[in-house]
């Protein structure tokens, strides 16, 4: 029994969601490479990149699938390195399933924002990764009295500001997707809570849920109406 409990504890401490997400994205990247290359527009469209006109025609899943696609080796390499180091910390803080919910909702939220404000083809886990940065911001706001969390939140806030500033002056970067993912992750972190660290007030969770749902619905409807 003690050995079984030890194994359960070890499994709980293993960031298997983060590793699993990375594995899925690497496999998808390899499949795209074999299909003709991850920078090939036709391959990107076939695998589910965000294309506004196709979403407007009813292919709503293109708000989800772009999270798992990447355009070129450098793109996936940088995203997977960032996901690994940030994801490990957040998965330990929120727990496996809450962490996965934050990642997926942030990714979808970023793609919905991109759908609303950008006509460009887009793909990549950056929307979800910015959502993880947003989750760190939530931790910093809710548990500011904790010096470790406060330090991490400040570090990631500075990182987010620098990245968004870089996005503004870099052509081809999906700024709307990054900002949308950031806010979606921030709000979703309140929604799921973080019992491993402490209690989040019920009023904050209700407000975050209402703002998140209303925001996603408005962005989606606005994008469909364009």
Instruction: Give the Cβ contact number of residue 154 at 10 Å.
Output: 12
Asked whether residue 70 is assigned to any structural domain, the reply reads yes
Q: What is the pLDDT of residues 144-188, one digit of tens each?
A: 888 888 888 888 888 788 888 877 777 778 899 999 999 999 999
Contacts of 63 (CB under 8 A, 6+ apart): 50, 55, 108, 111, 112, 115, 220
Instruction: Give the Cβ contact number of residue 45 at 10 Å.
Output: 15
Q: Of 38, 122, 126, 142, which one is the catalytic site residue?
A: 126
According to DSSP, the residues that pair with 122 across neighbouring strands are: 50
Asked whether residue 96 is assigned to any structural domain, the reply reads yes
How would residue 9 be classed by pLDDT, with cut points 50, 70 and 90? Answer: low
Asked whether residue 10 is assigned to any structural domain, the reply reads no
Encoding tokens for residue 222? 């606005």
How would residue 111 be classed by pLDDT, with cut points 50, 70 and 90? Answer: very high
Asked whether residue 8 is assigned to any structural domain, the reply reads no
Instruction: Give the pLDDT score at 10.
Output: 54
Asked whether residue 5 is assigned to any structural domain, the reply reads no
Asked whether residue 4 is assigned to any structural domain, the reply reads no
Instruction: Please provide the DSSP assignment of 162-223 as one string.
Output: HHHHHHHTSTT--HHHHHHHHHHHHHHHHHH--TTT-PPPHHHHHHHHHHHHHHHHHHHHHH
Specify whether 126 is catalytic. yes
Count how many domains the chain has: 1
Distance between CA 24 and CA 108 in Å, rounded?
17
Encoding tokens for residue 44? 């990107």
Asked whether residue 22 is assigned to any structural domain, the reply reads yes
Number of residues in the chain: 226
Asked whether residue 9 is assigned to any structural domain, the reply reads no
**Domain range holding 60?**
15-225
Specify whether 120 is catalytic. no
Q: What CATH code is carried by the domain that includes residue 27? A: 1.20.1540.10
Query: What pTM was computed for the model?
Result: 0.91
Q: Of 38, 75, 142, 178, which one is the catalytic site residue?
A: 178
**Is residue 114 within 8 Å of residue 174, measured between CB atoms?**
yes
Q: Is pLDDT above 50 for 1?
A: no
Place of tokens 């995203």: 79
Q: What is the pLDDT of residues 119-142, one digit of tens each?
A: 999 999 999 999 999 999 999 999
Instruction: Please provide the DSSP assignment of the chain as one string.
Output: -HHHHHHHHHHHHS-HHHHHHHHHHHHHHHHHHHHT-TT-HHHHHHHT-B-HHHHHTT-GGGGTGGGG--SSHHHHHHHHHHHHHHHHHHHHHH-HHHHHHHHHHHHHHHHHHHHHH--S-B--THHHHHHHHHHHHHHHHHTTTSHHHHHHHHHHHHHHHHHHHHHHTSTT--HHHHHHHHHHHHHHHHHH--TTT-PPPHHHHHHHHHHHHHHHHHHHHHHHH-
**Is residue 117 within 8 Å of residue 176, measured between CB atoms?**
yes
């Amino acid at each position: 029994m003690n050995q079984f409990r030890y194994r359960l504890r070890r499994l709980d401490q293993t960031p298997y969601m983060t590793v699993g997400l990375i594995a899925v994205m690497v496999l998808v990247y390899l499949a795209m490479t074999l299909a003709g290359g991850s920078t090939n527009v036709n391959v990107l469209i076939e695998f589910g990149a965000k294309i506004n006109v196709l979403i407007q025609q009813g292919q709503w899943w293109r708000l989800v699938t772009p999270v798992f696609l990447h355009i070129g080796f450098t793109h996936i390499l940088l995203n997977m390195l960032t996901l690994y180091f940030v994801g490990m910390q957040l998965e330990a803080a929120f727990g496996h399933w809450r962490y996965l919910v934050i990642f997926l909702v942030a990714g979808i939220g970023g793609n919905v924002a991109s759908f609303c404000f950008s006509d460009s083809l887009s793909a990549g886990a950056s929307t979800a990764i910015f959502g993880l940065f947003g989750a760190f911001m939530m931790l910093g706001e809710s548990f500011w009295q904790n010096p470790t969390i406060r330090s991490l939140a400040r570090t990631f806030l500075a990182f987010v500001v620098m990245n968004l500033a870089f996005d503004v002056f870099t052509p081809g970067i999906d700024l709307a997707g990054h900002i949308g993912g950031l806010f979606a992750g921030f709000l979703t972190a309140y929604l799921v809570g973080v019992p491993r660290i402490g209690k989040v007030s019920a009023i904050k969770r209700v407000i975050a849920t209402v703002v998140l749902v209303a925001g996603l619905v408005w962005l989606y409807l606005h994008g469909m109406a364009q």
